[in-house]
Amino acid sequence: MAKKDLTADWQKYYKDHLVTIEEAAKAIQPGDAIYLGQATMVPYALLDYLYEHKEEYHNVSFWYNVMNYPANMLFDHDTKEHFRLLNVYNLPLDRMAIDEHTIEVLGAGYDTYANSMWEYGVNTSATQVCPPDANGWCNVGCYGVCTNAVTNTDSHIVKKFGFIDSTGVYPAPGPLEDNYIHITEFDYIIENNTEMMALPIPEPTEMDEKVASYILPYINEGDKVQIGFGGLGEAILANLAKLPGSFEVFSEVLCDSMRPLVESGKITRIRAASPGACTEETFRWLATTKHDVRLYPRTLCIEPLGAMEQENLVAINATFMVDLLGQACSEAQGLKPYTGMGGSLAYIYGAQRAKNGRSFLCLRSTYVDKKGETQSNIVPWLPAGSIVSMLKNYVMFIVSEYGLADVYLKTYVDRIKALIKIAHPDFRQWLKDQILTTPLIEEWDFKDYDMNDDTVAPPRQPHTAVPYRNYEFSTYEL
């Protein structure tokens, strides 16, 4: 196992440890569990080489977070005879692989990212990094900052492959301990230039705009906003420019649309863990901007304890389905995995505990099933086979295109009555009839209740957070 040696002649070390992909592949042994990173960090050339020679391998695992290149092994079921693909979050290519049953979806969120790696015996890393600087330090790139400080320094990792990429990985400014790995830490060095890959910026739909309109009155000057990559996030960002004052971003992702808001002064600071499928222009801007913008490790930006320390945090996340108590299914459609837990727990729970924190869980009121029939995404109780992502006690505001339900700290009765009002009008009576068959509520509770009253209540004052206290047992007499 290579160990960092700052006294070594790193250029000689580079030459002595430079190998081809074919030579690197020979160092992969049965029982190896290899961390690949995420998106542009993943050495797809290695995966395709291993796939072409799969008969030579068995009992090799790969632990990763989203792929944005169609690696061949994703779409061949025979891959499972040789390789095990473990993924913590799913984008389009990963969802296709789920249909092929070639990958396994990890039951972990970003807040337990590293714990899951060690649970599955990860002992090797293989990631794309920037070429070494004058002192032999390799920037891990914008997608690598969120995990580098934890994964590459951990003693579980005993074998490291460094894929040097001068074209497809963009450096992220920051301290050595977070953003860099020294060339002498790699056991094998492979030169592997790639092309920049980015997803187009999603356009907000009319429904996204409507949902955003219910959230905007709750956003105040100076708030720290958290959004995800998608149409709703784009709608929120577009409307920030119209609100008075300035804002900060404390979020899992940094998006293209944040850049002009920073340049105009509307966003004064960005703290994020990872790019959100950014374009090359944004990567270059991030590497050179003098504004207060930086990527940080996952342990700060996608961690409940990091989120709860942020005053005035506004967390905005999406879900697929909720029941009338506020239990939410956010990572799967029924039993079919779709995205993953991601960082939503960190922000939903973190906002609940943060001073003046607010969290919003957003969904479409309906969907169309395989028979072409419209069904409600707000249901009296979750159907059998639902994968529950968020417990009712952690949810504050639930938002659909029909309104906003404040369910935080509320009784079952108040939750039910609030959520029926934001369901599609065609399903409100059905929801009431169904929930009346349960012990949760009775007809008397609906006295003077108008389920079709769409009046939007004014935003209430931010709640007083329950402070986090890390008490020492020695404080108490046991």
Show the beta-strand stretches assigned E in 66-154: 83-87, 103-105, 124-129, 137-139
Q: How far apart are CA 143 and CA 37, in angstroms?
A: 8
> Strand order in 321-323's β-sheet?
328-329, 321-323, 378-379
- What is the pLDDT, as a whole number, of residue 326? 98
Residues in the chain: 478
CB 87 within 8 A of CB 103: yes
Q: What would the DSSP string read from start to end of 140-186?
A: --TTTHHHHHHHTTSTT--EEEEEE-SSS-----S-HHHHEEEGGG-
Q: What does pTM read for this prediction?
A: 0.93
Q: How far apart are CA 352 and CA 393, in angstroms?
A: 10
pLDDT mean for each 10 residues of the chain (478 residues): 91 98 98 96 97 97 95 96 96 95 94 93 97 98 92 93 96 94 98 86 92 97 94 95 96 95 97 90 92 94 93 96 97 90 92 96 96 97 94 96 97 98 98 98 97 77 57 40
3-state helix, strand, coil in the chain (%, to 5): 35, 20, 45
- What is the pLDDT, as a whole number, of residue 317? 96
Q: How many CB atoms lie within 10 A of CB 1?
A: 10
Q: How far apart are CA 459 and CA 367, in angstroms?
A: 28
For the chain, what is the largest distance between any 2 Cα atoms, rounded to a whole number of angstroms?
A: 81
| DSSP-assigned beta bridge partners for residue 80 | none
Q: How far apart are CA 363 and CA 208, in angstroms?
A: 9
- Pick the closest to residue 292 from 307, 309, 272, 275 (CA basis): 272
- What is the pLDDT, as a whole number, of residue 423? 98
Q: How far apart are CA 288 and CA 173, in angstroms?
A: 8
CB 297 within 8 A of CB 146: yes
Burial class of residue 361 in the structure, from the number of CB atoms within 10 Å of its CB (0-12 exposed, 13-18 middle, 19+ buried): buried
Q: How far apart are CA 227 and CA 216, in angstroms?
A: 13
Report CA 345 to chain centroid distance, whole Å.
Answer: 10
Burial class of residue 267 in the structure, from the number of CB atoms within 10 Å of its CB (0-12 exposed, 13-18 middle, 19+ buried): buried
CA distances in angstroms from 218 to 360, 397, 410, 460, 475, listed in the order given: 10, 11, 19, 8, 39
Q: Residue 295 has which token pair?
A: 């990527």
Q: Which domains does the chain show, CATH number per domain?
A: 13-191 (3.40.1080.10), 206-446 (3.40.1080.20)
- What is the pLDDT, as a whole number, of residue 472? 46
- Pick the closest to residue 317 from 261, 267, 252 (CA basis): 252
Q: How far apart are CA 185 and CA 151, in angstroms?
A: 13
Q: Residue 234 has which token pair?
A: 């784009």
Q: Residue 161 has which token pair?
A: 């492959």
Cα torsion 399, 404, 409, 411: sign: negative
Report CA 230 to chain centroid distance, whole Å.
Answer: 12
CA distances in angstroms from 150 to 118, 146, 165, 178, 295, listed in the order given: 12, 9, 22, 9, 15
Cα torsion 150, 33, 163, 293: sign: negative
| DSSP-assigned beta bridge partners for residue 294 | 271
- What is the pLDDT, as a whole number, of residue 464? 59
Q: How far apart are CA 3 and CA 310, in angstroms?
A: 37
Position 320, amino acid? F
CB 315 within 8 A of CB 358: yes
